[in-house]
Amino acid sequence: MATAMRVIILGTGSALPTPTRRTSATAVVREGEMLLFDCGEGTQLQLRKAGLRPGRLTRIFITHMHGDHVIGLMGLLMTLELNGRQRPLELYGPPALAEYVLMSTRLLCTGFRYPIIFHEVQPGIICDTSEYEVECQPLNHRILTYGYALQERGKPGTFNVARASELGVPPGPLYGRLQQGHPVTLPDGRTVYPTDVLGPPKRGRRIAYCLDTRPCPEAVTLARDADLLLYDSTLAAGEEEEASDKGHSTSFQAATLAKQAGAKRLVLTHISSRYADPEKLSDGLEGLHDAIIVAHDLMELSV
């Protein structure tokens, strides 16, 4: 049984922090590793409130260079330095990200003894590990903005011990090879293939992160069959014209896109400070999608 991925939404506000909403940042914790998507003002404080250990942070993905998505980055990097970090940290984002960090490092008269590895992202797979990959696509905002999708690799189906015994496979290392997807040769010369003893393969989990965007085909691509979709819901249903003018989406558009993409759960986030009652974002969404969640700061979801 795979360990659940934890998604902790550290900041759910748009543009302006409020007493109840920080600006954009979301942590994904899986198998002891933490990934961070965006790093708005106060992110390191939110990490503390959530009980997350910054030392487990391996990669940070920045969508774009508007301040509410990146202005907390230098503070976090400097705290990691003060904590004695030595292992590398990988930063992914638009071309200006490296310039921002390097110039800020010089102007703030600071430095980092741990390696910071910059990745200037392009559409497609930008991070490829043995356990997951991260896909990037351009979104439709007022400046160059990217969305991301974390896709776990699929796992072999359930091993049928009874069937393996019927085929004469002796318990031990050969079981392991079959479970890893390799055919095995028995002492009598017969070959047993993984498909002979394994059930249907298990699809890896998918989390999509599409903030600061008008509805667009690229967002649908990232959200396709996602187990969890975090999507721009700056304004409530009925405010589509204003949202478009500002390069954003409404909760109605978020729900429509999630349904189109087949996303299993939709999280409405990047919420305007005008909404004292964020549940207003749910108005008018009846029947559009079966699983809609209005985000709040420090909300944790399991995938």
CA distance 11 to 271: 10
Catalytic entry in 68, 212, 232, 297: 68
Backbone angles phi, psi at 282, to 5 degrees: -80, -15
For residue 102, the cross-strand partners are: none
Query: Are 116 and 97 contacting, i.e. CB atoms less than 8 angstroms apart?
Result: no
* Alpha-carbon span 303 to 298, nearest angstrom: 16
Q: Which tokens in the block code for residue 222?
A: 């990232």
Classified as helix, coil or strand, 214 is strand
Q: Are 77 and 68 in contact (CB under 8 A)?
A: no
Whether 68 is catalytic is: yes
Length of the chain equals 303
At 109, is the secondary structure helix, strand, or coil? coil
Q: Which residues are catalytic?
A: 68
